[in-house]
Amino acid sequence: MIKLGFTSGERQAVAGISSLYFLRIIGLFLLYPVLSVYASKLPNSTPLLIGLALGIYGLAQALLQIPFGILSDKFGRKPLIAFGLVLFALGSLLAASFEHMAALILGRLLQGAGAISAVCIAMMGDLVAAERRSKAMACIGITIGLAFSVSLVLGPLLAVKLGLSGLFLILAALSGLALPVLRYAIPSPGSPSASNQATSLQAIWQVFQHWPIRSVAISIGLLHMVLAAMFMVVPLQIIALTGQPLEQHVFYYLAGILLTFVIVFPLLGLVERRRWHKSGIIIAITALALANLLLWQFASEVIVFFIALALFFLAFNFLEASFPALMTRVAPTQNRGAAMGFYSTCQFFGIFLGGIVAGIVLNYCSATTLYFILLCVTLCWLVMYNYKSTTE
């Protein structure tokens, strides 16, 4: 981070908030490669209920991002973040005690009620100067990409050793570990400035009318919709295609992580230096569409399946790392906090949509139908982003 031009206080803030983000977001991603496999074994389990268990977390997050932001302006960033971490831990403990789908769904709902993402981003805005804020957000984006990659490896390994209940207990422990990080590793911000208060209805409406902001927020929502829907079916399909138990899936996910380090991170630096933001994003969305096209047409072909999965990993990690910094560039200074609240709301609503859509489709149709629907979604997204985006 020294090379990014941060002051010493800003370096501490970026490192602390990125660490907090890592501990928090890994609690979401650890479940992705295992939830559909383990939840399918519960009494009265159906694809629709599994999709609800996956997606209801995102619904709670989406509904509460802006209220948490409002309260953080009044009561301070750190108290609201601490409250959200406690809610997530309580939800994890409830989910860990599940014996049927209802308890799992309620636990996921309570996990999602700890909606702290927008507050964390607002705190970053409080602690980092405006001219270096996009670099700070890029660090958060890369942190999320790393958390996703690490989760794909650790999730199956931990679930096989400890079961899904044990995995939820680990999520509760990670949330508890985040509390001392919040207390000691992150400088305390002063009172939120007017430029970072993003919580009035007028500010939200102004943000919604701004097309570049809207295009980025919709994009992050669609990205997480595709992610959630894909992981409703991918772990089950790996088992069906290879006959290998869950712990063996780690090797396939490790290949995706390797691709991220070798290809995606250098590409992010190149795109930033050359200012090829729009082109890079369009190529990544196209890669997502191609991945779903391959899965739709050749889902039963093992080699093609894993080629498509690699394309998905590359595109997801590139986009996940790109969008937070992009939002800080397109958002007007006076509405940056509102923009990030809108961004987080769309991100988590996408998770809800992905879980629900996948659950409905898999309840009545097949995995290939789901891949076709995701192909249509990514193609519409590509047209939308290419049409009026102003991110060059």
- 79-105: per-residue pLDDT in tens? 999 999 999 999 999 999 877 888 899
Nearest to 68 by CA among 55, 86, 83, 88: 83
Query: pLDDT value at position 3?
Result: 52
> Helices marked H in the chain — which ranges?
8-29, 35-39, 47-75, 77-96, 101-112, 117-127, 133-180, 201-209, 211-242, 250-259, 265-274, 277-298, 302-330, 336-364, 367-388
pLDDT recorded at residue 334: 64
- Distance, CA of 110 to CA of 90 (rounded, Å): 7
Question: Long-range contacts: 2-10, Cβ < 8 Å, 24+?
Answer: 4/132, 4/135, 4/139, 5/132, 5/135, 6/128, 6/132, 6/135, 6/136, 7/129, 9/127, 9/187, 10/127, 10/128, 10/129, 10/132, 10/136
Buried b or exposed e, range 247-265, using 16+ CB within 10 angstroms = eebbebbeebbebbeeebb
Q: Which residues of the chain have pLDDT under 50?
A: 1-2, 194-199, 390-392
Dist. CA 321–CA 317, nearest whole Å: 6
Give the chain's radius of gyration (CA, Å).
20
Do 323 and 220 meet the contact criterion of CB atoms below 8 Å apart? yes
- CB of 11 within 8 A of CB of 2? yes
pLDDT at residue 44 in the model:
84
Domain that holds residue 369: 2-388
DSSP string, 13-44: HHHHHHHHHHHHHHHHHTTTTTHHHHHTTSTT
Assign residue 43 the CATH number of its domain.
1.20.1250.20
> Which tens digits make up the pLDDT trace of 2-55?
456 788 889 999 999 999 988 888 878 999 999 999 988 888 889 999 999 999
pLDDT at residue 34, as a whole number: 93
How many domains does the chain contain in total?
1
Place of tokens 């999965």: 309
Quote the pLDDT of residue 90.
Answer: 95
CB atoms within 10 A of CB 282: 16
Q: How does DSSP classify residue 275? A: T
Helix (H) or strand (E) holding 244: none
Instruction: Judge contact between 319 and 285, C-beta under 8 A.
Output: yes
What is the rounded distance in angstroms from the CA atom of residue 112 to the CA atom of residue 103?
A: 14
Task: Tell me the pTM.
Answer: 0.87
Cα 19 to Cα 23: distance, rounded to the nearest angstrom: 6
**Which positions ≥6 away from 242 have C-beta within 8 Å?**
248, 302
Q: Taking the mean position of all CA atoms in its chain, how far away is CA 390?
A: 24
Helix (H) or strand (E) holding 335: none
Please give the pLDDT value at position 376.
Answer: 97
> Please, which residues have CB within 8 angstroms of residue 365's CB and are 6 or more apart in sequence?
none
3-state secondary structure of 145: helix
Amino acid identity, residue 36?
S
